[in-house]
Amino acid sequence: MVLARTLRLVAIALPVVLTACAPKSWVVLLPDEDGRTGRIIVSGEEGQTEVAEAGVAASLDTPKPETFKVTPYRIEQTFGGALAAQPKPPAVFTLYFESGGARLTAESEALLPAVLAESAARDGADISIVGHTDTTGDPADNKALGMLRATLVRDALVAAGLRLDRISTESHGEGNLLVKTPDDTQEPYNRRVEVVVR
Amino acid sequence: MLPEAWKSPTRYNSHHPQQALILAMSSYSAFSRLMLACALALLTRVALAEDGPIGYVKTHAGAAFVVSAGKSMEAVPGLALRQGDVLRTGDDGRLGLILLDNTVMSLGPNAEMVIDEYLFEPGNEQLGLGVRLLRGTMQFISGVIAKLRPEAVKVKTATGTIGVRGTRFLVDAGN
């Protein structure tokens, strides 16, 4: 009896609670692809709140954002279209070079077909190519060498049929080390070109 | 199978790039050509920073458009996006895009979004991303800009602002 009455009360109260918690404009945090969850800071006209838990939402149309939990069902109902339109996440390839010049290691040369296949598998693919060097020699020379490495990879991809206008090429020289080393240090893992296929 | 450019050991055999410069400087005309090339490269770079694509459309369904400099285009995969572009979807529309720093965004039906600001030059510490969702729904997955400078990334609606600290979220801006 008591239980039935409680349930009835909940049934009456629930729509009221849901209405109170149903802003027209809101944001909900999701876990990242790798399973971790980041943070968002939501600001209204009169205050702000932080959300750091997946499945927790905050209103965007109240002076001070109010947090509330949302079910996966409601997320799917509201955001099914936006979720369905999510592009495939970018794919990253790292190609390594022999010391000094712009000659790929044999293993990295063998990765080229995988880069081409990844690009072919995407509609409207674009590619970023960034060249890097180790700390051997002068930083300005290394900037040029990084560009030479990036250009070599670009030319190979274009020769294999990729569109030049959707490829961007740049060099970070020795300014973006994968393995931190002192100056003038040979480091195979720093002699690389990073190719991002989007 | 492999293209010649890939197979050839290298077009540049030296450990010391300055040798190339010295070679180029050995004749005046070669040197001036080099300077001209450098100047041109610099000009192109500046032009690219201002007018170049900031990303590309990747997915679409139904009615989906990009309005760029007053011109409306169908949002087909591979369409280049620029700062200031307005993205719109109709009743049955949706649209997905990836920006150059790997920020991924997608819009549900009846949505309108403006890319107000996009700066991605990590070498010059020029970083910024500002978008406004005027109506409809979107998904946002942060990229390199949010990693390097989280406070430089803002997603706004008519009434609220979302500051991004490296993450994935959904926004409903209502209608």
Q: What is the pLDDT of residue B49?
A: 46
Let me know: does B6 contact A97? Beta carbons within 8 Å: no
What average pLDDT is seen over chain A? 90
CATH class (in words) of the domain with range A91-197: alpha beta
**Interchain CB distance below 8 Å, A159 and B4:** yes
**Interchain CB distance below 8 Å, B108 and A141:** no
**Identity of the amino acid at B87:** L
Average pLDDT over residues B45-70: 83
Let me know: does A146 contact A121? Beta carbons within 8 Å: no
Average pLDDT over residues A71-75: 96
Average pLDDT over residues A51-71: 96
Which domain covers residue B36, as residue numbers? 14-51
Residues B45 and B74 in one domain: no
Alpha-carbon gap, residue B168 to A40, rounded angstroms = 9
Mean pLDDT is lowest, of A57-61, A87-91, B47-51, for: B47-51
Average pLDDT over residues A163-168: 92
What average pLDDT is seen over chain B? 81
Q: B119-125: which pairs have CB atoms within 8 A and are 24 or more residues apart? A: B119/B145, B119/B152, B120/B54, B120/B144, B120/B145, B121/B49, B122/B148, B123/A170, B123/A172, B123/A175
Residue B42 in this model has a pLDDT that exceeds 80: no
- In the block, tokens 């509330």 appear at A68
Domain boundaries, chain A: 24-84, 91-197
Mutate to test the interface with A, among B1, B45, B100, B106 (most CBs of A within 10 A): B106
Residue of A nearest to B76 (CA): A124
Residues B85 and B146 in one domain: yes
Residue of A nearest to B80 (CA): A166
Residue of A nearest to B49 (CA): A168
Alpha-carbon gap, residue A189 to A166, rounded angstroms = 27
CA A136 to chain centre: 31
The verdict on residue B129 lying in a domain is yes
Residues B68 and B112 in one domain: yes
Radius of gyration of chain B (CA): 21
The verdict on residue B9 lying in a domain is no
Residues B35 and B60 in one domain: no
pLDDT tens per residue across span A126-151: 999 999 999 999 999 999 999 999 99
Q: What is the pLDDT of residue B124?
A: 82
**Interchain CB distance below 8 Å, A122 and B12:** no
Residues B90 and B156 in one domain: yes
Q: What is the pLDDT of residue A2?
A: 54
**Interchain CB distance below 8 Å, A159 and B5:** yes
Q: What is the pLDDT of residue A87?
A: 97
Q: What is the pLDDT of residue A22?
A: 76
Mean pLDDT is lowest, of A48-52, A65-69, A163-167, B139-143, for: A163-167
Residues B72 and B23 in one domain: no
**Interchain CB distance below 8 Å, A27 and B169:** yes
Confidence of residue B12 (pLDDT cuts 50, 70, 90): very low
CB contacts, 8 Å: B106 with chain A: 82-87
Mean pLDDT is lowest, of A71-80, B3-12, B80-89, for: B3-12
Alpha-carbon gap, residue A138 to B19, rounded angstroms = 13
What is the percent of chain B where pLDDT is above 90? 65
Q: What is the pLDDT of residue B15?
A: 41
Average pLDDT over residues B83-102: 97
CB contacts, 8 Å: B142 with chain A: 38
The verdict on residue B65 lying in a domain is yes
Residues B59 and B98 in one domain: yes
Between positions 107 and 146 of B, the ones with CB within 8 A of A are 107-109, 111, 123, 137-139, 141-142
Number of domains in chain B: 2
pLDDT tens per residue across span B136-149: 999 999 999 999 99
Residue A71 in this model has a pLDDT that exceeds 80: yes
Asked if the C-beta of B59 comes within 8 angstroms of chain A's C-beta atoms, the answer is yes
Q: What is the pLDDT of residue B69?
A: 93
B53: left (phi over 0), alpha (psi -120 to 50) or beta: beta
pLDDT tens per residue across span A6-44: 555 545 554 444 445 579 999 999 999 888 999 999 999
The CATH number of the domain where B165 resides is what?
Answer: 2.60.120
Q: What is the pLDDT of residue B122?
A: 81
Residues B60 and B25 in one domain: no
Residues B24 and B64 in one domain: no
b vs e for B57-80, b when ≥16 Cβ sit within 10 Å of the residue's Cβ? bbbbbebbbbbbeeeeeebebebb
Residue of A nearest to B142 (CA): A32
Residue B14 in this model has a pLDDT that exceeds 50: no
Q: In sequence order, what are the residues at sequence separation of 6 or more whose Cβ sits closer than 8 angstroms to the Cβ of residue A164?
A: A154, A158
End-to-end CA distance of chain B: 53
Confidence of residue B10 (pLDDT cuts 50, 70, 90): very low
Q: What is the pLDDT of residue B8?
A: 38
**Interchain CB distance below 8 Å, B172 and A27:** yes
CB contacts, 8 Å: B123 with chain A: 170, 172, 175
**Interchain CB distance below 8 Å, A85 and B164:** no
